[in-house]
Amino acid sequence: MDWDDVDAVLLDLDGVITPTAEVHMRAWEVMFTRFLDSLPEEHEPYTDADYFAHVDGRPRYEGVATFLDSRGIELPQGDPSDGPDEQTVCGLGNRKNDLFNEVLREEGIEAYPGSVRLLDELPRRGVAMAVVSSSKNAVEVLRTAGLADRFEVVVDGVVAAEHGLAGKPEPDTFRYAAERLGKDPARCVVVEDAVSGVAAGAAGGFARVVGVDRGVGADTLREHGADEVVTDLAELL
Q: Is 152 helix (H, G, I), strand (E, B) or coil?
A: coil
Annotate 88-121 with b (16+ C-beta within 10 A) or e (fewer): bbbbbbbbbbebbeebbeeeebebbebbbbbbee
* 69 catalytic residue (yes or no): no
Rounded to an integer, what distance in angstroms lies between the CA atom of residue 25 and that of residue 56?
A: 9
Select which of 4, 5, 7, 12 is catalytic. 12
Q: Cβ distance 82 to 91 under 8 Å?
A: yes
CA distances from 87 to 73, 78, 95, 104 (A): 12, 8, 10, 24
Rounded to an integer, what distance in angstroms lies between the CA atom of residue 199 and that of residue 12?
A: 13
CA distances from 40 to 37, 73, 102 (A): 8, 12, 28
Select which of 2, 5, 14, 85 is catalytic. 14
Residues 6 or more apart whose CB falls under 8 angstroms from that of 112 comprise 17, 18, 19, 232, 233
* 14 catalytic residue (yes or no): yes
Rounded to an integer, what distance in angstroms lies between the CA atom of residue 144 and that of residue 100?
A: 13
Chain center to CA of 108: 18
Query: Phi/psi at 157 (nearest 5 deg)?
Result: -60, -30
Which of the residues are catalytic? 12, 14
